[in-house]
């Protein structure tokens, strides 16, 4: 019975993926293992399920009928398991999470490691990518997204906090070029910019009327990696517009200084996003609860350290 159910799951994944290779990647199997499983299933059923050529793969008429029945059956099994699992069991099984590269590496990965240590029967897989992943199509349980949710049909979201972007520079650069006192002063300075394919986006700041103010910046250095921008800013290359959590360690060391703290802050909301499900599996619930409890402190770390350093530099010397 276990082998039969495994074969059905492999078949459904292969049908939805459109290729044995992609199905194998989702299931953590080799392509040959997927092919053998499908072959055994076809032999047992006495029917051909796939039409395979060198260029494409599709379901036969029998395969389409079998697929529709299998999807309904698996959905019932998943609903039954989720109903029993929700809030009543220790998180077990495999949890697949996706996040953007830098945020995932610095902010999400340490917390998922902590989650795995708390629950020894849980397997955690983190995939980092700066593209917007289709959770349902690619088989992910949870995504962490730092951006407005433009389209989340079929998904549920929980706000985790706000990633504030701040302007910063090294003390060496400020000693050489002076400190900007307003947004209007930014145009007089060099900047280390974030850009892809030869273009750099303007920096965004809150407008007193509730909108946004876009400030185009000039700079000879453009990187598509925020950490590289932070490192070059430490070396005195110019101003930078970076997330608070990323600059926090550099603020603590005195390598960077926050600028325009009152007017120069802009935030992007951070969300946990997962496929809609009547009963939330305990493994997903445990991950969301941990992220919701810990992510806000990570996001605000840079602001807190910047304010402490700012107060320290303004403190008058002792007589």
pLDDT, tens digit, for every residue of 263-285? 766 788 899 999 887 678 899 99
Q: Are residues 130 and 278 in the same domain?
A: yes
- pLDDT on residue 174: 97
Q: Are residues 140 and 277 in the same domain?
A: yes
Task: Tell me, yes or no, whether 319 lies in a domain.
Answer: no
Task: Tell me, yes or no, whether 113 lies in a domain.
Answer: yes
| Residue 86 binned pLDDT confidence (cut-offs 50, 70, 90) | low
pTM strictly above 0.75 = no
State the residue range of the domain holding 258.
163-268+303-314
Cβ-proximal residues to 51 (8 Å cutoff; 6+ apart), any chain:
57, 58, 59, 60
Instruction: Answer yes or no: are the C-beta atoms of 140 and 150 closer than 8 Å.
Output: no
Q: Are residues 142 and 280 in the same domain?
A: yes
Q: Is the pLDDT of residue 238 over 90?
A: yes
Q: Is the pLDDT of residue 231 over 90?
A: yes
Which of 27-36, 46-55, 123-132, 284-293 shows the lowest mean pLDDT across its residues? 46-55
Task: Tell me, yes or no, whether 147 lies in a domain.
Answer: yes
Instruction: Answer yes or no: are the C-beta atoms of 50 and 86 closer than 8 Å.
Output: no
CATH number reported for the structural domain that contains residue 241 in this entry: 3.40.190.10
Domain boundary among 85, 110, 140: 85
Mean pLDDT of 29-49: 91
Q: Are residues 136 and 70 in the same domain?
A: no
Mean pLDDT in the chain?
85
Q: Are residues 127 and 239 in the same domain?
A: no
Instruction: Answer yes or no: are the C-beta atoms of 301 and 247 closer than 8 Å.
Output: no
- pLDDT on residue 308: 55
Domain boundary among 63, 85, 107: 85
**CB neighbour class for 16 (10 Å; exposed up to 12, middle 13-18, buried from 19):** middle
CATH number reported for the structural domain that contains residue 54 in this entry: 1.10.10.10
Q: Are residues 264 and 167 in the same domain?
A: yes
Cβ-proximal residues to 107 (8 Å cutoff; 6+ apart), any chain:
99, 245, 295, 298, 299
| Residue 314 binned pLDDT confidence (cut-offs 50, 70, 90) | very low
Instruction: Answer yes or no: are the C-beta atoms of 92 and 119 closer than 8 Å.
Output: yes
Q: Are residues 109 and 150 in the same domain?
A: yes
Number of domains in the chain: 3
Task: Tell me, yes or no, whether 296 lies in a domain.
Answer: yes
Q: Is the pLDDT of residue 127 over 90?
A: yes
Tell me: the pLDDT tens digits for 183-213? 999 999 999 999 877 778 889 888 877 778 8
Mean pLDDT of 166-182: 95
Q: Is the pLDDT of residue 61 over 60?
A: yes
| Residue 57 binned pLDDT confidence (cut-offs 50, 70, 90) | confident
Q: Is the pLDDT of residue 26 over 90?
A: no
Report the distance separating Cα 275 and Cα 153, nearest Å. 9
Domain boundary among 33, 62, 85: 85
Instruction: Answer yes or no: are the C-beta atoms of 299 and 162 closer than 8 Å.
Output: yes
């Amino acid at each position: 019975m276990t082998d039969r159910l495994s074969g059905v799951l492999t078949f459904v994944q292969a049908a939805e993926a459109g290729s044995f290779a992609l199905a194998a990647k989702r299931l953590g199997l080799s392509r040959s293992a997927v092919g053998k499983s499908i072959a055994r299933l076809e032999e047992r059923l006495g029917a051909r399920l796939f039409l395979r050529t060198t260029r494409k793969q599709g379901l036969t008429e029998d395969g389409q009928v079998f697929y529709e029945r299998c999807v309904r059956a698996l959905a019932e099994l998943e609903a039954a398991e989720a109903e029993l699992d929700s809030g009543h069991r220790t998180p077990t099984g495999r949890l697949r999470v996706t996040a953007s590269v830098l945020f995932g590496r610095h902010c999400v990965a340490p917390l998922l490691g902590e989650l795995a240590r708390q629950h020894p029967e849980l397997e955690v897989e983190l995939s980092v990518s700066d593209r917007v992943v289709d959770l349902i199509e690619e088989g992910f349980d949870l995504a962490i997204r730092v951006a407005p949710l433009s389209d989340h049909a079929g998904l549920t979201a929980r706000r985790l906090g706000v990633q504030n972007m701040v302007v910063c520079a090294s003390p060496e650069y400020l000693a050489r070029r002076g400190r900007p006192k307003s947004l209007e002063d930014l145009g007089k300075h060099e900047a280390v910019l974030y850009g892809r394919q030869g273009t750099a986006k303007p920096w965004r700041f809150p407008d007193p009327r509730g909108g946004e103010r876009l400030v185009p910046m000039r700079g000879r250095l453009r990187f598509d990696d925020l950490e590289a921008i932070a490192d070059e800013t430490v070396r005195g290359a110019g101003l930078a517009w970076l997330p608070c959590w990323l600059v926090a360690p550099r603020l603590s060391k005195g390598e960077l200084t926050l600028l325009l703290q009152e007017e120069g802050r802009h935030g992007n909301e951070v969300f946990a996003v997962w496929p809609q499900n009547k009963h939330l599996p305990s493994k997903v619930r445990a991950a969301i609860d941990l992220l919701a409890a810990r992510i806000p402190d990570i996001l605000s770390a840079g602001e807190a350290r910047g304010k402490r350093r700012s107060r320290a530099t303004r403190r008058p010397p002792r007589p």
